[in-house]
Amino acid sequence: MDALLLLAALVVAFLLLRSAVATTGRIVVVSDSSRFDGAVALYDTRLLAASFPYRVTGSASARDAAGWLASRFEQIGLRVEHQKFDLWLRGQKVRGDNVIARSGGREQGAILLLAHFDGPTTSSQSAAASASGVGTLMELARILESRAHRHPFIYAAVDAGTWGQIGAARLADSPLGRGDSILAAISLDHVANGRAAGVTIAGIGQGDGYAPLWLRVAARDALGFHATPVRDVGFFQEWYLRTIRLSTEDQGPLVSRGIPAVNLGTLPSDPAYANFLFHTPGDRVQTLDAGAFRLLGTGVERLVLSLDRNARMRGASTYLRVAGDRMIRGVAILLAAILLFVPLLFTTWEALATARVEPAARAALPSEIVIAAGWWVIGAAGWLALQGLVAAGTLPRYQLYPATERDPVLYDVDWLAMVTYLLVMILVAWGLARLRRRFHLLAGHPFAGRAVALATLVLLSAIAVVENPFAAVWLLALPAWLWPWIGPTRRPVTGAGGTLLVMASIIPAVAIAVLVGQQSQLGVRTGWYLFLQAAYGAWSPLTTVMAIVLVLASGRLIGTATARLLPESGD
């Protein structure tokens, strides 16, 4: 019966999603001849990279670079302002500096172009990441201001992009970043080392935000005018990005605040070469190619001109792209996600009913419920322990994200901090056990334990569906389908099978960890990176607590699977 219910939920969810496929609107791409000069963009990149090495946020070199950028914008005839802000970096409070240049326009709704100019600690010139984006930005400002335009153009060279897009977040939080004041924003990611094989389009977001599909399609159409090869994220990669809600690009803070934004960068023809140089001393201007700048710059130039001359486009950020300009709308995604957890709801109801029928299980229900409530206390204690480690300076404080890729901090695992974190949760669990003993709430029963574990999964799923249906389906759908098959048994083999099912249910979470590790090139130190992300707030407190509760609930379910209390005649 449970299998039929699950099959029915899957079929209905599929039909619902299929019926909800919609097509986004498209802009008309202008046919003006391009004026973008890749050689000039490379020259500007060389001036920034070679003249201001080690542009780590807060350093004298970064401050000097901001002043130079302001003077270059002023030479073009733009109004320039500095937007200063404070942030934590490697345990120190430093000052960042966004350089914002504006031009006028007769119609409301500005078009924003941005790129970050700071660099990591591991590279001197930081040519591809990140001087190349600013070099492209400077050339775009020069050639776009040589044309008449209807809307205001804003050019922002932002600071602290390497350290969690803090400068872009400060820009988005200012009056400039009000959603109704920005028509569209384009984040110039980077021009990769070596020759370019095309351009990548990313809708990477933070929180609820994501690049609207109309803007991604507009970027593809503008680049396609020059027959530029374009790579956008695929279906499953997009689902993954929607699940983690963590941006590594300056576009993220913008879309999280409702500003339509897309991230563009070049696709290297030799990815291994570009990856080898990323955030290393070898990332120098000599490894860059003027043709790669031209490939990106001409497409962005055409996109900006097309956005300027078309009517204002609007579109939701809650969607899932299925192909080209087709998407599944947000309401259908939410309903489909709810349907996938309906079988778990019925199974949990049956488990509770079974526990209430068995006298010993019914008597143990209050104790099991108190134990489950304690899981949330343990999770909250774990999160507080992380904050305490940061406040005490045991973990060097960062504003939002841990140190960036290839920073030594990511490879020097602080085992004392991790052991302290675990010890705090163990001590809290021990204290809760003593309290239960004092109030005579120690009696447990496999039927009651199974019911409460399933009920906890229902609660976690409900919260996840409301917060992020993409994450709910990716991380919790498999547990919701497998856990109902786990329960007390008299056969050791069946009990071992239940344990394996619990372990199999965490495969999606392991996949997230592996993908995050690959993206950050961390290998076996991915666990340390995730630990730091939770400590610095990249993951929300609720997400951190829910992850701990899920682990504890799965442990209790394994305990019920290995408890052989059924009579000889049944299994």
In the predicted structure, residue 180 carries a pLDDT above the cut 70: no
Greater pLDDT, 176 or 292: 292
Lowest-confidence pick of 29-43, 217-231, 493-507: 493-507
pLDDT (0 to 100) of residue 10: 81
Q: Are 139 and 44 in contact (CB under 8 A)?
A: yes
pLDDT bracket for residue 499 (50, 70, 90): confident
pLDDT (0 to 100) of residue 465: 95
User: Mind spelling out the 3-state secondary structure of 483-539?
Assistant: HHHCCCCCCHHHHHHHHHHHHHCCHHHHHHHHHHHHHHCCHHHHHHHHHHHHHHCCC
pLDDT (0 to 100) of residue 121: 93
pLDDT (0 to 100) of residue 570: 42
- Residue partners of 58: CB distance under 8 A and separation at least 6: 89, 92, 94, 95, 96
pLDDT (0 to 100) of residue 568: 43
Nearest to 389 by CA among 360, 422, 364, 349: 422
How far, in Å, CA of 485 to CA of 202, rounded?
39
pLDDT bracket for residue 566 (50, 70, 90): very low
Instruction: Return the residue matching tokens 């206390």.
Output: 377
User: Which H or E element spans position 85?
Assistant: strand 79-89
Which two tokens mark 126? 């930081």
Annotate 123-164 with DSSP letters as a single string.
Answer: -SS-IIIIIHHHHHHHHHHHHHTTS--SS-EEEEEES--TTT
User: Mind spelling out the 3-state secondary structure of 415-449?
Assistant: HHHHHHHHHHHHHHHHHHHHHHHHCCCCCCCHHHH
In the predicted structure, residue 571 carries a pLDDT above the cut 50: no
Instruction: Return the residue matching tokens 């509760």.
Output: 549
How far, in Å, CA of 499 to CA of 561, rounded?
7
For the chain, the first-to-last Cα distance in angstroms comes to 17
In the predicted structure, residue 424 carries a pLDDT above the cut 90: yes
Count helices and strands in the chain by DSSP H and E runs: 21, 11
How far, in Å, CA of 256 to CA of 317, rounded?
9
pLDDT bracket for residue 55 (50, 70, 90): very high
pLDDT bracket for residue 101 (50, 70, 90): very high
User: Facing residues of 196 across strands?
Assistant: 268
pLDDT (0 to 100) of residue 509: 92
Q: Are 91 and 396 in contact (CB under 8 A)?
A: yes
pLDDT bracket for residue 493 (50, 70, 90): low
Lowest-confidence pick of 310-319, 424-433, 438-447: 438-447
How far, in Å, CA of 113 to CA of 134, rounded?
10
Angle in degrees, 0-180, between the axes of helices 330-340 and 446-467, rounded to the nearest 10: 180
Q: Are 123 and 281 in contact (CB under 8 A)?
A: yes
Rounded mean pLDDT, 513-526:
82
AA identity, residue 399: Q
pLDDT (0 to 100) of residue 494: 63
In the predicted structure, residue 518 carries a pLDDT above the cut 50: yes
In the predicted structure, residue 386 carries a pLDDT above the cut 60: yes
In the predicted structure, residue 506 carries a pLDDT above the cut 50: yes
Inter-CA distances, 454 with 344, 368, 444, 502, Å: 8, 12, 15, 12
Rounded mean pLDDT, 120-144:
96
Instruction: Return the residue matching tokens 């991230």.
Output: 263
Instruction: Return the residue matching tokens 């489909």.
Output: 336
How far, in Å, CA of 113 to CA of 262, rounded?
10
The predicted-structure confidence for 286-333, as pLDDT tens digits, reads as follows 999 999 999 999 999 999 999 999 999 988 888 888 888 999 887 899
Lowest-confidence pick of 124-138, 178-192, 511-525, 555-569: 555-569
pLDDT (0 to 100) of residue 203: 80
Rounded mean pLDDT, 63-84:
97
pLDDT (0 to 100) of residue 238: 87
Lowest-confidence pick of 2-16, 44-58, 175-189: 2-16
pLDDT (0 to 100) of residue 166: 95
In the predicted structure, residue 416 carries a pLDDT above the cut 60: yes
In the predicted structure, residue 226 carries a pLDDT above the cut 80: yes
How far, in Å, CA of 377 to CA of 185, rounded?
42
Nearest to 251 by CA among 309, 210, 300: 210
Q: Are 429 and 374 in contact (CB under 8 A)?
A: yes
Task: Encode burial over 148-176: b for 16+ CB neighbours within 10 A, e otherwise.
Answer: ebebbbbbbbbbbbbbbbbbbbbbbeeeb
- What share of the chain in percent tops pLDDT 70? 96
Burial of 19 (0-12, 13-18, 19+ CB in 10 A): exposed
pLDDT bracket for residue 205 (50, 70, 90): confident
Lowest-confidence pick of 3-17, 146-160, 261-275: 3-17
CA dihedral 472, 478, 480, 486 (to 10 degrees): -150
pLDDT (0 to 100) of residue 490: 58
If DSSP codes are grouped into helix, strand and coil, which group holds residue 250? coil
How far, in Å, CA of 483 to CA of 89, rounded?
43
pLDDT bracket for residue 33 (50, 70, 90): very high
Domain boundary assignment for the chain: 21-315, 359-561
Rounded mean pLDDT, 460-481:
95
Inter-CA distances, 170 with 116, 117, 188, Å: 13, 15, 17
Angle in degrees, 0-180, between the axes of helices 526-536 and 415-438, rounded to the nearest 10: 70
How far, in Å, CA of 528 to CA of 520, rounded?
12
pLDDT mean across residues, the chain: 91
In the predicted structure, residue 553 carries a pLDDT above the cut 90: yes
pLDDT bracket for residue 524 (50, 70, 90): confident
pLDDT (0 to 100) of residue 4: 81
Class of domain 21-315: alpha beta
AA identity, residue 320: L
